[in-house]
Chains A and B, each alone.
Chain A
Amino acid sequence: MESKEEAVTESADHSMMMNDDGAVDTEQYLTFIMADEEYGVDILSVQEIRGWETATPIPNAPTHVKGVINLRGTIVPIVDLRQRFGIASTDYGPLTVVIVLKVEKDHKERVMGIVVDAVSDVYSLSAGMMKDAPDLGEKVSTRFLKGLATIDKKMVILLDINELLSNDEIPEMSPTEAA
């Protein structure tokens, strides 16, 4: 909540966005909705968007890793972003969307899918429109937040894809969690 207020105070930037549209150093972001919040990821890292299909579960994997799917012959892991962020997960329906992302890790490109509620929009943002994520205290890790931006008086949370998914490397497999 704290973060939202801070973002609102920065809404003066809103007018700037209009001028900057199409300028040299804008970046495009694909946004999606999750638990009523809008999140954005760099559009260049998005490989494709597809509907949810049942994944093959990986034994003893952390709960947010839903399993692996066959994406035209490659094995791609699927992460539930809700669970990754500690938000209660919802049932998957025909409208559940998987965004397939390319993640750069140690100069090696990896492909991963994230489960989100719905895809929203594509925005062009200039660097000036992005605000650093405020320190949210210990409870929320800002590690995978690239920044916050305000678009049409709404806050969009920009995610750092590489941080977000590669942190799966950290084993979270204490027996209680895995069970």
Chain B
Amino acid sequence: MSIDLSQFHQVFFEESFEGLDAMESNLLELECETVDSEVINTIFRAAHSIKGGSGTFGFTEIAEFTHILETLLDEIREGSRNLTVDMVDLFLQSVDCLREMMQQIQDGTEVEKDTPKELAQAFEKYLNSENSENNVSDSSGTRVGDASSTVGSEAEARTEAGDTNGAGVVVAPGGRRWEIKFRPNVDMLRTGNEPARMFRELDSLGHYHCKVDTSQLSKFSALEPESSFLAWNISLSGDVSREQIEEVFEWVADDCELLIEEIQSEEAGIVAVDESKVDELKIDELKIDERKVESNESKVAEIGATEARSAETNVTDAAESDDPDTKQEAIKAKKESGKAKENSSIRVGTEKIDSLVNLVGELVITQSMLSQIGEDFTVEDLSRLKEGLGQLEHNTRDLQESVLRIRMLPINFTFSRFPRLIRDLSRQLDKKVELKIIGEETELDKTVMEKIGDPIVHLVRNSMDHGLESPEVRLAAGKDETGLLTLSAYHQGGNIVIQVKDDGAGLNKERILQKAVENGLVGEKETLSAEQINDLVFRPGFSTASEITDVSGRGVGMDVVRRNIQELNGTVEVVSEEGKGCVFTIRLPLTLAILDGQLIRVGDCTYILPLVSIIESLQVEPELVSHVAGGCEVLSLRDEYIPIVNLWDTFKVEPDSKSIEDSILIVLESENHKVGLVVDELMAQQQVVIKSMETNYERVGGVSGATILGDGRVSLILDIVGIVKMAGTQASERGKVLDFPSKHKAA
């Protein structure tokens, strides 16, 4: 075959990562004692696809490893083995391991071999241990073969795992005889399954004999070439296990009647020999296990000593450890090294594509209508032209919306990783936690989604570490033993709001304040509102973790969380009630590309305000404005006092009029506070495409971006939070600098 398979690699990776995600989430569902066969099947199917795919593309490491995993899954599926919590753990670890291997292959880096090997050994242990206890009587070469591969060299383990024909099964002589009745359904051939190929595979398993049953064959005139009328009776002898035969028919299991029966023969002598062998092997195995445990222990100790933060964290060590943080760091380090190969793509639902196609169709119709009008245009056609243009506008807007929807994905993509995180963390911290996810269908721009994951992880970790208490403390405080952590997402205006809420102890205000004073963030005699105190945790240089509680000592700054969110034009705030828990609320724009804007004018300059932040606009009676000490103006609006910001002053542009009664005041909401912005004129509202100022220039205070207006001019999009801050610092500077009296008076 001369097809270049590498062109499909990207698709394979995407599918495999999805498969791994599916495995993970299903594994987490499995935790309850009752095993749902459907769930197991889903996991099995995912694993099987990964195995198949990786085999096809020649990623033998993955294929081999998945094979072992699949073997155990298969036994659980058949009910011949009970699922234990440890097994789920092992499966989860191997999902991680597979994900990492996949990442390494994708990045083109060396695939790490130690972790899979260790996990594979753990799997082998399961596969052998119970079998050798329960099934010795009907044991055959298969089992002994498996065991020997554990004890034997790695090379042997590989052949066993990699070769679906089971090359490791050669220890015991003789074999079993199987009768297979295989009757495909009429339409099996249409699914692309070819019986001849399966028979060929059976032939490679052992001695094989096949009889065709043509009883169902219809007359030649009624024969359809695409239908299958034949059935086969196959007898197979050799060292073949039921699993191996089933595997041959794996893909057609639903499309046929299949009966596999073993024909018993006398094998007593062999069994006796095998038993002794098995005993020997078991001893060897135990030795290995002990050694493994030791090495694991020393590893854990090592990790404890070096701590997650140490710069020279050994990548291999970290990947093997159970510490998700170090692991993440390691993965990150690896990712950075292989970043060049990253190639992002997006999976889009067909219904979204369909709607796009429809819209483009409509657009084409409108266009042809317009060009028809334009061909010999008379004044009488004016109304038709206007109508046509209206339609065009409508089409364009619809099209724009659907194109943007393509980038939207349900936030589940981010949330889905949390059940696992919570599970691991709650074990690690010895806390009982229930995770509740609300609104996982809320859609969010892909870019925003990618960047919001880490901050949320951080907040969740924080809540687990420092928010939620241990079961004893909770009981003592009269709460339910199990802590509740809620992740929710919903739309509000043009924003998406994501909340991380826990019912733990809440922020400890005194300790925060004390720490802030120690660090010099707050003067000793300053009095702060509760809100301001809570806000301190986001300040750089204020590491919450190790100081406030000593649970983990991981004090990675919350300031990083805030900075990441601010980079997305979002905000984060915390509300805490002592003893009852705290809520972190993240607000993000739905998309980074388009904004509903209100055009405003100050002097010669046109600016754009995000429409969502505007509450109202009004003309102000001068009596309602009062001057608070320091020159700051406030407006008494109904029951509230709203600080006023003069845009002309902040931006140093010449306005039409400096007196407030000639201007228009726009009441805006910024970070939960209201603020009044004084402008000369309100102009049109329109959707604008956001362009970055940073691409060619640099970040500008008070400006979140720029856009191009209909006439080709550039207009700046205002960043309200930034403007309020600028106005604040300017006012305070004026307060201090006394040789600036002219300006001060003007304000």
Please give the distance in Å from B699's CB to the nearest CB on chain A. 10
Q: Which parts of A100-127 form the interface with B (CB within 8 Å)? A: 110-112
Q: Are B605 and A75 in contact (CB under 8 A)?
A: no
Q: Are A56 and B696 in contact (CB under 8 A)?
A: no
Chain A 69-113 per-residue mask, 1 if CB under 8 angstroms from chain B, else 0? 110011111000000000000000000000000000000001110
Q: Which of A55, A68, A175 contacts B733 (CB 8 A)?
A: A175
Q: Are A56 and B714 in contact (CB under 8 A)?
A: yes
Of B702, B716, B740, most buried by chain A (CB within 10 Å of CB) is: B716
Q: Are A68 and B605 in contact (CB under 8 A)?
A: no
Q: Are B651 and A60 in contact (CB under 8 A)?
A: yes
A179 at interface, CB cutoff 8 A: yes
Q: Are B693 and A178 in contact (CB under 8 A)?
A: no
Q: Are B696 and A111 in contact (CB under 8 A)?
A: yes
State which of B25-33, B141-149, B560-568, B705-713 sits at the interface with chain A: B705-713
Q: Which of B695, B703, B713, B716 contacts A70 (CB 8 A)?
A: B713
A51 at interface, CB cutoff 8 A: no
Q: Are B713 and A75 in contact (CB under 8 A)?
A: no
- Bound: A59/B652 CA distance, A: 7
B692 at interface, CB cutoff 8 A: yes
- Bound: A10/B195 CA distance, A: 89
Question: Which A residues touch B701, using CB under 8 A?
Answer: 59-60
- Bound: A57/B730 CA distance, A: 20
Q: Which of A75, A112, A179 contacts B706 (CB 8 A)?
A: A75
Q: Are B703 and A58 in contact (CB under 8 A)?
A: yes
A169 at interface, CB cutoff 8 A: yes
- Bound: A111/B712 CA distance, A: 18
Q: Are A75 and B697 in contact (CB under 8 A)?
A: yes
Q: Are B698 and A73 in contact (CB under 8 A)?
A: no
Question: Which A residues touch B696, using CB under 8 A?
Answer: 74-77, 110-112
Please give the distance in Å from B606's CB to the nearest CB on chain A. 8
A61 at interface, CB cutoff 8 A: yes
A6 at interface, CB cutoff 8 A: no
In this complex, how many residues of chain B approach chain A with their Cβ under 8 Å: the count is 29
Which residue of chain B has the shortest Cβ distance to A113 in the bound complex?
Answer: B696
Q: Are A59 and B653 in contact (CB under 8 A)?
A: yes
Known: A59-B702, A60-B701, A110-B696. A73 touches B708 (CB 8 A): yes
- Bound: A111/B697 CA distance, A: 8
Please give the distance in Å from B680's CB to the nearest CB on chain A. 15
Question: Which B residues touch A179, using CB under 8 A?
Answer: 652, 743
Please give the distance in Å from B695's CB to the nearest CB on chain A. 7
Which residue of chain A has the shortest Cβ distance to B737 in the bound complex?
Answer: A175
Please give the distance in Å from A68's CB to the nearest CB on chain B. 5
In this complex, how many residues of chain A approach chain B with their Cβ under 8 Å: the count is 25
- Bound: A73/B691 CA distance, A: 9
Q: Which parts of B670-715 form the interface with A (CB within 8 Å)? A: 691-693, 695-698, 700-703, 706, 708, 712-715
Question: Which B residues touch A70, using CB under 8 A?
Answer: 708, 712-714
Which residue of chain A has the shortest Cβ distance to B706 in the bound complex?
Answer: A75
Question: Which A residues touch B716, using CB under 8 A?
Answer: 56, 58-59, 68
Question: Which A residues touch B691, using CB under 8 A?
Answer: 73-75
Question: Which A residues touch B698, using CB under 8 A?
Answer: 168-169
Q: Are A60 and B652 in contact (CB under 8 A)?
A: yes
Please give the distance in Å from A170's CB to the nearest CB on chain B. 10
Please give the distance in Å from A119's CB to the nearest CB on chain B. 22
Known: A56-B605, A58-B700, A61-B700. A75 touches B651 (CB 8 A): no
- Bound: A55/B693 CA distance, A: 14
- Bound: A69/B708 CA distance, A: 9
Known: A57-B653, A59-B703, A61-B700. A68 touches B693 (CB 8 A): yes
- Bound: A110/B692 CA distance, A: 12
Q: Which of B697, B700, B733 contacts A59 (CB 8 A)?
A: B700
Chain A 35-70 per-residue mask, 1 if CB under 8 angstroms from chain B, else 0? 000000000000000000001111111000101111
B650 at interface, CB cutoff 8 A: yes
Please give the distance in Å from B742's CB to the nearest CB on chain A. 10
- Bound: A76/B714 CA distance, A: 10
Which residue of chain A has the shortest Cβ distance to B709 in the bound complex?
Answer: A70
Chain B 611-645 per-residue mask, 1 if CB under 8 angstroms from chain A, else 0? 00000000000000000000000000000000000
Q: Which parts of A154-179 form the interface with B (CB within 8 Å)? A: 168-169, 175, 178-179
Question: Which A residues touch B651, using CB under 8 A?
Answer: 59-60
Question: Which B residues touch A58, using CB under 8 A?
Answer: 693, 697, 700, 703, 716
- Bound: A65/B698 CA distance, A: 12
- Bound: A68/B691 CA distance, A: 12
Known: A59-B650, A68-B706. A74 touches B695 (CB 8 A): yes
Of B650, B696, B698, B713, most buried by chain A (CB within 10 Å of CB) is: B696
Q: Are A68 and B697 in contact (CB under 8 A)?
A: yes
Question: Which A residues touch B693, using CB under 8 A?
Answer: 58, 68, 75
Question: Which A residues touch B702, using CB under 8 A?
Answer: 59-60
- Bound: A60/B605 CA distance, A: 13
Which residue of chain A has the shortest Cβ distance to B692 in the bound complex?
Answer: A75
- Bound: A56/B697 CA distance, A: 13
Which residue of chain B has the shortest Cβ distance to A176 in the bound complex?
Answer: B740
Q: Which parts of B170-189 form the interface with A (CB within 8 Å)? A: none
Question: Which B residues touch A169, using CB under 8 A?
Answer: 698
Q: Are B695 and A56 in contact (CB under 8 A)?
A: no
Known: A68-B706, A68-B714. A77 touches B652 (CB 8 A): no
By a beta-carbon cutoff of 8 Å, the part of chain A in contact with chain B is 55-61, 65, 67-70, 73-77, 110-112, 168-169, 175, 178-179
Q: What are 28 contact pairs spanning A and B, CB under 8 A?
A: A56-B706, A57-B605, A58-B700, A59-B650, A59-B652, A59-B653, A59-B700, A59-B702, A59-B703, A60-B652, A60-B701, A61-B700, A65-B697, A68-B693, A68-B697, A70-B713, A70-B714, A73-B691, A74-B691, A75-B691, A75-B714, A76-B696, A110-B696, A112-B697, A169-B698, A175-B730, A175-B733, A175-B737
Q: Which 10 A-B pairs have the closest CB atoms?
A: A59-B651, A56-B714, A77-B697, A110-B696, A75-B706, A70-B708, A70-B714, A75-B691, A68-B714, A111-B696
